[in-house]
Amino acid sequence: INLSRGFVADLGALKQHLDSGHLSGAAVDVFPVEPKKSGDPFETALANEDNMILTPHIGGSTLEAQESIG
């Protein structure tokens, strides 16, 4: 699971390990390049992987996270 910064995880290596079966699944909430505004395209090589959970940078959108931010 990557909930930090998009550049932290090597998504190419992640895809390679998913495709090889070395990893059975993954979840990613941040990406190296994210759409700037609604309607902008979102592109990632991971989009068509059956064993992926992709969320739109919402990991910090919980009440607990917002309280921690202050």
The token duo for 28 is 């990613």
Q: Please list the active-site residues.
A: 5, 34, 57
8 Å CB contact between 55 and 29: yes
- Closest by CA to 11, choosing from 34, 36, 28, is 28
- Is the pTM higher than 0.85? The answer reads no
Q: Please state, in angstroms and rounded to a whole number, the distance separating the CA atoms of residues 9 and 11.
A: 6
Residue extents of the structural domains in the chain: 11-69
The token duo for 44 is 């990632």
pLDDT in tens, 21-53: 999 999 988 877 777 788 888 888 888 888 999
